[in-house]
Each structure stands twice: as C-alpha cells, then as structure tokens.
C-alpha cells in the first residue's frame, strides 16, 4: 500500500490518528473508495465524492448508526467519521465463501432489525438513493408514503428523462390508486431501504454485513422485495429464517412486485434501458 497524501491527510484530520498507507478500492459506482491502514493497526474504508450533494455522506452515516442500534440486528460497519465530503467506515474483510449458515443468520438478523421498528412512516430528514434525492417527510399511512415519497417522484423524473413510456407510466399510476386495498396494515419497520445484493457483503467472519443504506421507517416488504428483485445467494434460506423469526402476512410473495416498482423506477431514472418497461410490466400484473 502506498500513501495518497491528500486522502491520508483528510482522514487524519477526522480520525485524529496517523494513516500509514492507502490503496484504491474498485467497485464504487458513485464515490471513490480508498482503503486506509491506520497507525493503530485498524483498517478502514474512506469514501469521497467531490461536490457531493449536501448531506450525502451524513445521511449514509446516520442510516448506518440507526441500523446499528438494534441488538442482534443486521451487522453494519462502524462509522468512524463523517463529513460533508467523505465518510470513514470500519473495513469489512470480504470472503469468497457464501455459507448457508450466514444466510440463515442474516434472515434472523434482518427480522430483528425490522421488528425494532421506527417512529413513523419516513424519517425526520431526507436522504439519497444512489445519487438521487430521497424524500422522507412522514405520512399518516404506508400507502400514502409509498405513493407520494417513493413511486410518484421517480415516475415523474423517469417521464422527464424519457425513461418510461406513457402506457407503462399509466400502469404504474393505476396501481398507486389501489395501494390501500393491496397492502396489509403493519407498524413501521426499521428499513435498510436499498437492500440489493451489492449492498450485502459476505464477511470473513461468516456474517453478511449491509452497507449504503437509504434507511427510513417503512413496510418491511420493501427490503424483501429488493432482495428478490436483484437476487441474493441462498435467498430461500434467508426468507425461511426470516419468516420463522418474524412471520410475514399471507400473500407476501404475490405482493413483491408492488414494492419493486420503487427500485425499478429509480433504476429507470439513473440508467434508462429497460427498467421503465419492467416497471410497467410489473404494474400490469396488479391491474
């Protein structure tokens, strides 16, 4: 590991300890990731982004801390420092192994995190999903929150960017009008909010650690829908362990598509491609 002076100096200012060496980390889609070796012997991850949106890294740090409050919940990296231009996290040493035991434990831990609950639908501050703003202003019900804060803002943006056709957009709007009758009533769960497999790190400690949350209080089927949308190794075992620890309402598998509309529209806004068409096709199933 060499030493990148500017990155090392910023980390030292925030951590109050010397950075012995740094090395780039591949794979970040948004921020630049750097591995730090500290004089204390600890290894850390520093994420930086020039001209980051206001509150970008602070929201990530607050989300990780909120999830970490749950005893026995999903493992998250410790937040070592956060500022407007960066966040520094404890390093998670990843493994190429994906043992079933870790998947089962993850299902139980995710159930525990969800069951810890939230104060309401939403959060007391806005956040981000990727680089897009994520409105979190609270609402009186989950159908209202999901419609107004999760689906409609990204449906509008997808339309503005030409990422969804009018027939597909109309199919999504038709589902939004029926949410109250489609979704079971539950108390707000403590959600990761962006729980796709890229944000699940299989650690050498034989645990699955979650990163990059878009945390808020919401319906727990949101996290589960995203896991199913993008896949996760041993997902059936994860779900069996989850359902045993915190039983799901009947018909949850048939409702997954409803809560997949949000990530599909976000992806349409960010990447275009066929995500708008997929959102329309999923919505059409609930016509």
pLDDT recorded at residue 4: 79
CB-side neighbour CA atoms (13 Å) of 245: 21
Beta pairing partners, 200: 210
* 8-state DSSP, 67: H
Q: Cβ(138)–Cβ(243) under 8 Å?
A: no
- Residues marked active site are found at 194
Rounded CA Rg of the chain: 19
- Distance (Å, rounded) from C-alpha 55 to C-alpha 154? 20
The pLDDT of residue 200: 97
**CATH 3.90.1200.10 matches 100-284:** yes
Write down the pLDDT at residue 2: 63
- Same fold: 5-90 with 100-284: no
Give the residue extent of every domain in the chain. Answer: 5-90, 100-284
Question: DSSP alpha helices (H): ranges in 117-251?
Answer: 142-145, 152-160, 166-176, 179-182, 221-230, 235-245
Q: What's the pTM?
A: 0.95
pLDDT of amino acid 189:
98
CATH number of the structural domain 5-90: 3.30.200.20
Q: How far is CA 11 from CA 38, 173, 192, 261, in A?
A: 10, 46, 26, 39
- pLDDT in 10s for each residue of the chain, 287 residues: 566 788 999 999 999 999 999 999 987 678 999 999 999 999 999 999 988 999 999 999 999 999 999 999 999 999 999 999 999 999 999 999 999 999 999 999 999 999 999 999 999 999 999 999 999 999 999 999 999 999 999 999 999 999 999 999 999 999 999 999 999 999 999 999 999 999 999 999 999 999 999 999 999 999 999 999 999 999 999 999 999 999 999 999 999 999 999 999 999 999 997 999 999 999 999 98
């Amino acid at each position: 590991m060499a030493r990148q002076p500017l990155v090392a100096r910023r980390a030292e200012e925030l951590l109050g300890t010397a950075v012995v060496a740094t090395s780039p980390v591949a794979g970040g889609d948004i921020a630049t990731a750097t591995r730090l070796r500290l004089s204390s012997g600890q290894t850390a991850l520093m994420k930086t982004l020039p001209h980051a949106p206001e509150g970008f890294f602070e929201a990530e740090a607050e989300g990780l801390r909120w999830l970490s409050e749950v005893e026995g919940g999903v493992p998250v990296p410790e937040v070592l420092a956060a500022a407007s231009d960066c966040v520094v996290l404890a390093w998670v040493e990843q493994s190429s192994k994906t043992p079933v035991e870790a998947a089962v434990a993850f299902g139980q831990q995710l159930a525990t995190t969800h069951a810890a609950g939230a104060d309401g639908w939403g959060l007391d501050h806005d956040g981000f999903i990727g680089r897009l703003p994520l409105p979190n202003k609270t609402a009186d019900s989950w159908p209202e929150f999901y419609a107004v804060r999760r689906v409609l803002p990204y449906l509008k943006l997808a339309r503005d960017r030409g990422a969804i056709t009018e027939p597909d957009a109309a199919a999504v709007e038709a589902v939004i009008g029926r949410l109250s009758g489609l979704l079971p009533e539950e108390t707000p769960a403590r959600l990761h909010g962006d729980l796709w497999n890229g944000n699940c790190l299989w650690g050498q400690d034989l645990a699955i650690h979650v990163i990059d949350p878009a945390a808020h209080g919401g319906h727990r089927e949101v996290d589960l829908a995203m896991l199913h949308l993008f896949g996760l190794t041993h997902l059936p075992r994860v779900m069996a362990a989850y359902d045993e620890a915190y039983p799901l309402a009947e018909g949850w598998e048939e409702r997954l598509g409803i809560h997949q509309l949000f990530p599909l529209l976000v992806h349409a806004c960010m990447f275009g491609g066929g995500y708008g068409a997929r959102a329309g096709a999923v919505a059409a199933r609930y016509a």
